[in-house]
Structure 1
């Protein structure tokens, strides 16, 4: 097994997980229209990355099992659900749950970004133009996912945290 195969595997799993988590966050925070719609768009980007990674892996003799029928990655970790609007009792405040979800998305996207960078580096070292092209095409979208989560955290943190 070579380094390209290791990175392709890590990216495939990471993009599957990010797509599933973005879709879950969109569903959990459907009342927050910007979160809902942008998260769905960003999940589509990650699903496209998964498809492209699957095609790029074949020449390396690597074949991935696809995502589950619902679009989530097999073995994706469960995330706590928000309590219904107006419900009282224990459980996370909706603003804190959203911040937690955005933090998790940010960390997942950042990990993928690092792997895209590693793929670009190993592709340059091995003169693998296809892998380099893939990283060059997909990495900017991952960086955009990171910028969105960071912006949303900056925007939502003051109100969510000062109201505690």
Structure 2
């Protein structure tokens, strides 16, 4: 049970961090509309995963907090929007975007591995509660991984060859 608890904590931390990073990337790349809007949607999924993990934790002698309050205030949003618009006219934002997508991809892949570990433990222990949660959340995490990978494939040729 201790291994499950540790993995729940690691995944909870990973989902919270991914949500925060997705929101920051959405704000930083506001002028890239697909990135901005999809990153916001994907952040919502990580937020929901965090809530589900927090609800599940007491069954494994863990105490995990629910989703945090939205970290971006209206003033911060406005400042980030202006910065994104100003940066949108220089070539360097493309490299920043690729860097952000790479980091998001690695974070989502790490979360995916934790979901897989929990699902395998749930199967081995015949733990339907844990398996149901992993089965519901892991496909969304895999979609986060696929989206970041696709965006890197689509954007990197143009960005890297235009510098």
TM-score tier by shorter-chain length is: 0.7 to 0.9
TM-score of the superposition, structure 1-length normalised?
0.86
State the shift of 1:127 in Å. Answer: 1.4
> What does residue 84 of structure 1 align with?
86
- RMSD across aligned positions (CA): 2.0
- What is the CA distance between 1:36 and its match in structure 2? 0.4
Are residues 1:101 and 2:103 paired?
no
Q: Which residue of 2 aligns with 1:78?
A: none
> What is the CA distance between 1:95 and its match in structure 2?
0.4
**1:120-131 aligned within 5 A:** 120-131=119-130
Seen in structure 2, the aligned counterparts of structure 1 residues 71 and 123 have a Cα distance that, compared at 3 Å, is: farther
Matching residue of 1:65: 65
> In structure 2, how many angstroms separate the alpha carbons of the residues matched to 1:68 and 1:45?
13
Per-residue deviation, residues 22-58 of structure 1 (Å, max 9, x unmatched): 0000000001110000000000000000000000111
Spell out the pairing of 1:132-147 with structure 2 (5 A cutoff). Answer: 132-147=131-146
Cα deviation code 1:135-158 (max 9, x no counterpart): 111000000000100110000001
Q: Secondary structure at the match of 2:59?
A: helix
Count of aligned pairs between the two proteins? 153
Shift, 1:64, TM fit: 1.5
Structure richer in helix, relative to its length: 2
Query: Residues 161 and 128 from structure 1, CA distance in 2 versus in 1: closer, same or farther, beyond 3 angstroms?
Result: same
Instruction: Please tell me whether the aligned partners of residues 30 and 84 of structure 2 are also in contact (alpha carbons under 8 angstroms).
Output: no
Q: TM-score, length-normalised on structure 2?
A: 0.87
CA distance in 2, matches of 1:85, 1:144: 29
* Residue of structure 1 equivalent to 2:76: none
Gaps of 5+ in 1: 73-80
